[in-house]
Structure 1
Amino acid sequence: MRKRMTPEESRAAALAAARALLVEEGMSAITLKSVGARIGRTHANLLHHFGSVDGLHGALADEIARDVAASITGSIGQYRLGKTKLRRVVEEMFLAFREQGIGQLIAWVVLSGRRDALEPIESAVAQVVKDITADGDDRPLDRATLGLVLLAVGDSLVGHEMARATDLEHEASYDIAVRQVLAVLGEYQNGVTKGRPGR
């Protein structure tokens, strides 16, 4: 007998199934039929919750974006408190993008001409910049975040392949990202010189 779920439980189960499909098979595998089959729910049931497959994709983007943004903000907070190194922040961000399939999701919505579905990710990144910028901090954290996000998206899509093509370890992308962030922020690796580049 199929377990009875509350509407909230049914929606959460559907999104969890969609996230699993994204990681395992990619965005093209996320349909109302495939998600319904995973959780034992009908097509009509999922239509009730999401309205359409586009609605499901939008809800998935929103949930992943919020989770990844919270992870990034937390990592940067630990860095600012001196509890972790910048390289660790970069590693965690790149891993979050990879493991959550954000590159796949972004590529799918862009190539399918549905850029409006990127709004949750756009809002999440904007919130990260807001959350990590303290009053009086005039460093270009917006530029640093932009660079990191773009690098993380590219890495989540083709990081392994491009590392192999250049005969480098995949982890080399972390070092490149750290150097670029330090250059943007004007903070040099030894931690001795701080300020804007050129000072």
Structure 2
Amino acid sequence: MRKRVSPGESRAAAVAAARELLKSEGAAAVTLQAVAGRVGRTHANLLHHFGTAAGLQRALAEDIAQTVAASIEGVIKQRRAGQATERDVVDAMFEAFRREGAGELIGWVALTRQREALEPVIATIERIIRTMRALGDPRPVDRMTLALTLLAIGDSLAGEEVARACGLDRGAIREVAATTIEALAGSPLRD
């Protein structure tokens, strides 16, 4: 006999299972059927909670966006307090995207033309830019965020392979990111 769980618990378990599938098998493996199998529910049960596969992907994108944002915003807060460097912010963004599978999910959603599932990611980026502007950062934070986000997405998708093809260590992309941010900011990143 199955244990009865609340709708919120059922939804959270499904998103956690989708996240694990994303990390272990990739975005294509995140299907309603596969997630249902992982959480011991039916396909129909997940349809009830998410409506469609795109609904599940949106919920997963929202969950990942919150995790990535918390990681990045935490380092930004540490930098403002003098406890981290701007390079730490660059590294945190790259690590968060790679660790959480954000780049693969974003790529999959974009390629399957279910762009509405990207709304949580877009909202997170907009919030980070608004926060930095509200704190009086005079630099072009919109362009810096654009460059850093796109480089982190690319790195999380194929950074290792592209760096190897170029005869470089994967860490070279972070150096490129730091140099790009310095150029956009008009000053070197503080170490």
**So what's the TM-score if we normalise by structure 1?**
0.90
Q: 1:167 and 1:155 mapped to 2: Cα distance?
A: 15
Aligned 1:9-88 pairs, distance under 5 A: 9-88=9-88
Q: 2:129 and 2:190 mapped to 1: Cα distance?
A: 25
In the TM superposition, residue 188 of structure 1 has moved relative to its aligned partner by: 2.0
CA distance 1:73–1:189, shift in 2 (3 Å) = closer
Confirm or deny that 1:148 pairs with 2:148.
yes
In the TM superposition, residue 4 of structure 1 has moved relative to its aligned partner by: 2.2
Equivalent residue, structure 2, for 1:166 = 166
What is the RMSD computed on CA atoms of the aligned residues?
Answer: 1.5
CA distance 1:190–1:138, shift in 2 (3 Å) = closer
Aligned 1:113-132 pairs, distance under 5 A: 113-132=113-132
Asked whether the equivalents of residues 32 and 43 of structure 1 are also in contact (C-alpha less than 8 Å), the reply is yes
Q: 1:13 and 1:5 mapped to 2: Cα distance?
A: 10
Q: 2:114 and 2:180 mapped to 1: Cα distance?
A: 31
In the TM superposition, residue 135 of structure 1 has moved relative to its aligned partner by: 4.5
Q: 2:148 and 2:70 mapped to 1: Cα distance?
A: 15
CA distance 1:32–1:136, shift in 2 (3 Å) = closer
Where 2:41 maps in the other structure, the secondary structure is: coil
Equivalent residue, structure 1, for 2:93 = 93
CA distance 1:190–1:40, shift in 2 (3 Å) = closer
Asked whether the equivalents of residues 76 and 89 of structure 1 are also in contact (C-alpha less than 8 Å), the reply is yes
Equivalent residue, structure 2, for 1:104 = 104
Between structure 1 and structure 2, the one with the greater Rg is 1
Asked whether the equivalents of residues 129 and 145 of structure 1 are also in contact (C-alpha less than 8 Å), the reply is yes
Asked whether the equivalents of residues 68 and 97 of structure 1 are also in contact (C-alpha less than 8 Å), the reply is yes
CA shift digits 1:93-132 (9 cap, x unpaired): 1011011111111111111122222111111100111122
Number of residue pairs the alignment of both structures matches = 191
Q: 1:146 and 1:88 mapped to 2: Cα distance?
A: 17
CA shift digits 1:13-32 (9 cap, x unpaired): 00000000011111111111
Q: Which segments of 5 or more consecutive residues in structure 1 lack a partner in the other structure? A: 192-199
Which protein is richer in helix relative to its size?
2
Asked whether the equivalents of residues 73 and 132 of structure 1 are also in contact (C-alpha less than 8 Å), the reply is no
Asked whether the equivalents of residues 18 and 60 of structure 1 are also in contact (C-alpha less than 8 Å), the reply is yes
Asked whether the equivalents of residues 148 and 181 of structure 2 are also in contact (C-alpha less than 8 Å), the reply is yes
Q: 1:37 and 1:104 mapped to 2: Cα distance?
A: 22
What percentage of residue pairs aligned between the two structures are identical?
52
In the TM superposition, residue 189 of structure 1 has moved relative to its aligned partner by: 4.7
Asked whether the equivalents of residues 73 and 128 of structure 1 are also in contact (C-alpha less than 8 Å), the reply is yes
Where 1:133 maps in the other structure, the secondary structure is: helix
Asked whether the equivalents of residues 62 and 120 of structure 1 are also in contact (C-alpha less than 8 Å), the reply is yes
